[in-house]
Amino acid sequence: MDYQELSIGSVIYEVHRIYNGSRSAEELVLERMLLEQPDPPFDEGHTGAV
């Protein structure tokens, strides 16, 4: 089992891994966070001009 603490901004994540793999825990956590992040609406932040 692998244990690691990751600090991202002011948040500390505790990661426990029970499998073997070549990717770091930090890489796996960041990938999961990006996958779970909702997509913004298409017109968010755009002006009326196209």
User: 9 in a domain, yes or no?
Assistant: yes
Residue 15: domain span: 2-33
45/5 Cα distance (integer angstroms): 35
Q: What is the 3-state secondary structure (H, E, C) of 15-44?
A: EEECCCCCCCHHHHHHHHHHHHCCCCCCCC
User: 26 in a domain, yes or no?
Assistant: yes
User: Looking at the 3D structure of the chain, how many domains does it have?
Assistant: 1
pLDDT band at 47 (very low <50, low <70, confident <90, very high): low
Q: What is the pLDDT of residues 3-26, one digit of tens each?
A: 778 888 888 888 777 766 788 777
pTM tops 0.75, yes or no? no
User: 17 in a domain, yes or no?
Assistant: yes
